[in-house]
Amino acid sequence: MSEEEIIQLWETNPMLKPRIEKVVVNMCVGKSGEILEKASKVLEELTGQKPCKRKAKRTIRDFGIRRGEPIACVVTLRKERAVEFLKKALYVVGYKLPKSCFDKFGNFAFGIKEHIEIPGVKYDPEVGIFGMDVCVSLCRAGWRVKYRRRARSKIGSRHLLTRDEAMIFMKNFLGVEIS
């Protein structure tokens, strides 16, 4: 199907139109203590939500990481907050994403090297500079039946979101250029 046919199909059947389910922002600093608290504070300022800390899964002696030690902070954004943050994050990468960012289910991820590149953020020498990973999950209406507790059901193969549809959605919805 061509891009025009897919867009026309979305207009005739709103259940097929993709939407942003969630945006997960991850800052991994590799150490616990003061630096993790600073990263957590930066993430809370950027997203407006309190981050959740993640612990190391195993010990890596070369990096000085012990199993169970908190080394990262994560925030999951949904609905308007997700779209708002995604626009800021895409501005940093110039609204350009490579095709390799997208997986076969229509999800995509990209990284930001310095958080101070996000519009509205100023450099604070006491805090420092942190990088982050932004993971975006796209879905269609009705996707919830796969995960709900009561009357859980399967989703048909025709209702699954594909990589090409996700790229078309991002081009039209947020004006992302895909190379």
The model's pLDDT over 55-112, given as tens digits with 9 standing for 90+, comes to 989 988 888 888 989 999 999 999 999 999 999 999 999 999 999 999 998 899 999 9
pLDDT score of 79: 92
13 to 16, 83, 138: CA distances (angstroms): 6, 23, 17
Q: How many domains does the chain have?
A: 1
CA gap 34, 127 in Å, rounded:
10
Q: Are 49 and 77 in contact (CB under 8 A)?
A: yes
AA letter at 12: T
Residues 9-48 pLDDT 10s: 999 998 999 999 999 999 998 888 899 999 999 999 999 9
Residues in the chain: 179
pLDDT score of 179: 87
> The domain spanning residue 32 has which CATH number?
3.30.1440.10
Q: Are 101 and 138 in contact (CB under 8 A)?
A: no
For residue 57, give its domain range. 3-178
Site of tokens 């859980």: 152
pLDDT score of 91: 93
Q: Who contacts 62 (Cβ-Cβ below 8 Å, separation ≥6)?
A: none
Q: Which helix (H) or strand (E) holds 52?
A: strand 52-55
pLDDT score of 144: 86
The pTM of the full predicted model, rounded to 2 decimals, is: 0.89
CA gap 14, 117 in Å, rounded:
36
pLDDT score of 169: 94
In the chain, helix, strand, coil percent, each to 5?
Answer: 40, 25, 35
